[in-house]
Chains A and B, each alone.
Chain A
Amino acid sequence: MRTVSEWYNSTFSSTAVFNHREDERIFRTRFKRTWFYIFLAVNVLVFIASSLGFGANEYHYFILNLILVNLVAVIGLNLLVGFTGLLSLGHAAFMGVGAYTSALLITEAGFPLVISMIIAGLVAAMAGLIVGIPSLRIKGFYLMVATLAFQMVIDYGVIHWESLTRGVRGIELPTPDFFGLALKEQKSYFVFLFAVTIVMMWGAKNLTRSKIGRAFVAIRDNDISAEIIGIPIFPYKLLAFSVSAFYAGVAGALFASLMRTAIPEDYHMMNSIMLLAMVIIGGMGRLTGSIFGVIFMTMVPVLLDNFFSYLSIVYDPNITIMLGPAKEFVYGGLIVLFIIFEPEGMFAIWMRIRDYFRIWPLPYISE
C-alpha cells in the first residue's frame, strides 16, 4: 500500500531522466501522460455534452475541424522547416494537389474518403519528391524561391487545366464517409479528424525521435558536418520533402471534404505564407509549438470575424468591407512581431509559463 505522497511523487514530480531511452519517450513523465489522458477525457465529455444538446454546437465543431486540418498540414511543414531547415513557400500547393486528387477519386471513381486521403497523400509526396530535387544543389533562400515557383505553376495549372480541375468553379464533393458510415455532421467528422490527427501526430513524433529525425536535425544544424558524420544528405532531404508533402496532401484531402468543395483559391500562395506563419509563431522544430501556433492563428481570423460582425451591428454595417484587410493586417503584424520579439515562437512562452509553475507555490525551494 503506497502512501499518498509516494503516489504523488511517482506521478507528478519524478522528472529525472537516467538514460537515452527514457529521454526519447513520447511522454517523458507520467505527469505528461496523465495530462494527455485528461485531455482525451475532456474531448469525450465535450462530445457527449454536445450530443445531448448543450455546450459546443456545429459551428464550434467546424472551427475545431479547421484547426485539426491545419494542424495536420502544419505538422508536415514543421518537419520540413523546423526539423530539416528547408524552407518551403509551396505548401498550399501540396495541399491543393492532395485536395484535387482526393476530390477526383471520390467524385469520379467513388473511392471512400480514407483510401482517397492516403492516395492523395502519396500523390502529394511524389510531387514533393520532384520539388525536392533542386535541394540537391540549392539551399536556404534559393530553395524557398524554387518552391514558390512550384506554387505558381500549381496555381496556374489548377485554374487553367479545366478539363481536369473544372477551373475556378471547383469540384463539389459529397458528404464525407467512413467506409459507408456517412459523417454528415461536423461533430461526427470531428471524431474522424481527431483520430487521423492523433495518428499523424504520433507518426511525426516517432519520426523525430528516430534515426531519421536525428538526421533531419543534423542537416538543419550544419549540413556539411552532417555529411561528414555519414548522413547521406540528399536522400534525407528528399525524404523530408516527401514526408512533409504527404502530410500536406492528407490535410488537403481532409480540407476539401470539410469544405465539401475543392476550389483554387484555397490553395493560393497566401495560404502557403499562412501555414509558414503558423509554424514560425508556434515555434520551429517543436511539434507542441505547432499545436499552439495552429490554434492561435486559426482563432485570430475567427475572432476577428465575430468582432467585425459585432461592430457592424452596433456601429456601422459598412465596416465589414474592412474585414479582409484587417485580417491581413493582424496576420502580418503577428508574423513581424513574433519574429522580432519571440523568435522561438509560442513554445518559448509556454516553456516560461511551465517553468514558472513548476516551482510555483514555493519558488524559494530549489529543485
Chain B
Amino acid sequence: MIDFLQAVGDGIFIGLVYALLGLCIVIIFKASETFNFAIGEFLVFGAFLFYVLFFDLGFPIVVAFPVGLAAAAAVGGIIEWFSIRPLLGRSPLSMTMVTLGLAMVMRAVIQFIWGSHSYSFFLELPDITVEKGEFLFISDPIWAGMLSIVTFIVILLFLFRTRWGLAIRAVSEDQAKAMAFGINARFILLIIWAISAACIAVAGIMISNFGALSVTSVSVGLRSIPVVLIGGMDSIIGALVAGIIVGVTESLAGAYIEPLGLVGFKEVAPYFMMLIVLFIRPYGLFGTVRIERV
C-alpha cells in the first residue's frame, strides 16, 4: 500500500509537468486546430535559452528566468510568423504536417548550435524533500510540479481575467466572427504561439532540472500526445486531469509492471492508456463530442 501511494504521489508531481505540456498543445489546438508536433523541440530550445542566460552568462535566476521565457516566446512568435502564418486559411492538417517538418529543422538547429552531448543542469533550488515515515518525495519533482501548477494557473488567469485572454478565447471560438468584431486574429495567433513556447520552456527547464539537458530530451515532448488525447484536444481541464493520469500511469507501470520483466514499459504505458480511451471515448474524457457517424 505504501509503495502504491508513493508511486501515485511521484506520478502526480510528474503529471503536473505533463499537464503543462498538454495545456500548451491545447491552447494552440483551440485557436487553429493544429497539433504542434514540434513541442519536444520547443521544450529543449527553451531550456537551452535559459541555460545560456543562467549558466553561461551567469545572470541571477530572477533575471535569467523571465528573460529566458521572453526569448523562448520570441522564438515561438518568429516561427509562427514564418511557417504557420502563410498557411492560414488552408487545411489544419497541412499546418500539423508543417510542424512535423519544423520539428526536424529545430532539432537540427539545436544540434548545430549546442551539439548532441548533454549539459549538466542544476538549479540549486532550496531543498524541500518530504520524508515522513515510509514516504520519500524528492525535492526536484516537487519543485517541478509546483512551478508547473503555478504556470498553469497564471495562464488560466491570463485567459479568463484579461482583455487579451478574452480576445484569444474569441479567436478560439470562431476566427471569422472574432475578426468581424475587430480582433486581429493573425496577431492573436502569434501571441498564442509565443505564450505556448514560453510555457513549454518552463516545462523544459523543470524537466532538465531532474538530470541533464541534451537534444535527446525532445522525446519528452511526445509524452504530451497521450495527455491531450486522453483529456480531449480542446479541453483545458482535460489537460490537467489527463496529465495527472499519464503521470500516475507511468509511475505505476514503472513500479508494478516493469519488475515483471518488461523493461521500459513505462514509456509505452501512456500510449496503451490512450488507445483504450480512443476506443471508448474518441474525443477524450473532456473533449467536445462532435457528432459524426463515419
Q: How far is the CB of A50 from chain B (nearest CB, A)?
A: 35
**A63 on interface, CB distance cutoff 8 Å:** no
Whether B278 pairs with A142 at a CB distance below 8 angstroms is: yes
CB-contacts of B14-39 with A (<8 A): 33, 35
10 A–B pairs (Cβ distance < 8 Å), ordered by A:
A139-B294, A146-B278, A156-B265, A160-B265, A273-B100, A276-B100, A332-B101, A332-B108, A340-B83, A340-B98
Known: A160-B264, A333-B101. A343 touches B279 (CB 8 A): no
**Per-residue B-contact encoding for A154-173, CB less than 8 Å = 1, 0 else:** 00100110000000000000
Q: How many of B's residues come within 8 Å of A, CB to CB?
A: 46
Q: Please, which residues of chain B bring their CB within 8 A of the CB of A324?
A: 111
Known: A145-B225, A322-B112. A332 touches B102 (CB 8 A): yes
**Candidates A227, A233, A326, A343; contact of B94 at CB < 8 Å:** A343
Whether A339 pairs with B98 at a CB distance below 8 angstroms is: yes
Q: Please, which residues of chain B bring their CB within 8 A of the CB of A332?
A: 100-108
- For B99, the closest partner residue in chain A by CB is A336
**A153 on interface, CB distance cutoff 8 Å:** yes
**Per-residue A-contact encoding for B230-258, CB less than 8 Å = 1, 0 else:** 00010000000000000000000000000
**Candidates A134, A153, A277; contact of B278 at CB < 8 Å:** A134
**Per-residue B-contact encoding for A209-242, CB less than 8 Å = 1, 0 else:** 0000000000000011001000001000000000
In the complex, given contacts A149-B275, A156-B264, A339-B98, what are 8 additional A-B residue pairs having Cβ atoms less than 8 angstroms apart? A138-B278, A153-B268, A273-B100, A276-B100, A324-B111, A329-B105, A329-B112, A335-B101
- For A151, the closest partner residue in chain B by CB is B271
- For A327, the closest partner residue in chain B by CB is B108
- Which range contains the number of A residues in contact with the other chain? 35 or more
Whether B98 pairs with A336 at a CB distance below 8 angstroms is: yes
- For A159, the closest partner residue in chain B by CB is B264
- For B101, the closest partner residue in chain A by CB is A335
A153 to B226, CA, bound (A): 13
- For B215, the closest partner residue in chain A by CB is A325
Q: Please, which residues of chain A bring their CB within 8 A of the CB of B102?
A: 332, 336
Known: A332-B105, A336-B83, A340-B86. A325 touches B112 (CB 8 A): yes
Q: Please, which residues of chain A bring their CB within 8 A of the CB of B101?
A: 277, 331-336, 339
Total CB contacts across the A-B interface at under 8 A: 121
CB-contacts of B248-294 with A (<8 A): 262-265, 267-268, 271-272, 274-275, 278-279, 282-283, 292, 294
Q: Which 3 A-B pairs have the closest CB atoms?
A: A332-B104, A335-B101, A329-B108
**B92 on interface, CB distance cutoff 8 Å:** yes
A36 to B90, CA, bound (A): 36
- For A326, the closest partner residue in chain B by CB is B108
Whether B97 pairs with A325 at a CB distance below 8 angstroms is: no
Known: A160-B263, A273-B104. A141 touches B94 (CB 8 A): no
Whether A335 pairs with B111 at a CB distance below 8 angstroms is: no
Whether A339 pairs with B35 at a CB distance below 8 angstroms is: no
Known: A134-B278, A322-B112, A325-B111. A335 touches B229 (CB 8 A): no
**B78 on interface, CB distance cutoff 8 Å:** no
Whether A343 pairs with B83 at a CB distance below 8 angstroms is: no
A325 to B33, CA, bound (A): 29
Q: Please, which residues of chain B bring their CB within 8 A of the CB of A233?
A: 294
- For B274, the closest partner residue in chain A by CB is A149
Whether B100 pairs with A335 at a CB distance below 8 angstroms is: yes
**Per-residue B-contact encoding for A270-295, CB less than 8 Å = 1, 0 else:** 00010011001000000000000000
**B176 on interface, CB distance cutoff 8 Å:** no
**B87 on interface, CB distance cutoff 8 Å:** yes
Whether B93 pairs with A140 at a CB distance below 8 angstroms is: yes
Q: How far is the CB of B121 from chain A (nearest CB, A)?
A: 21
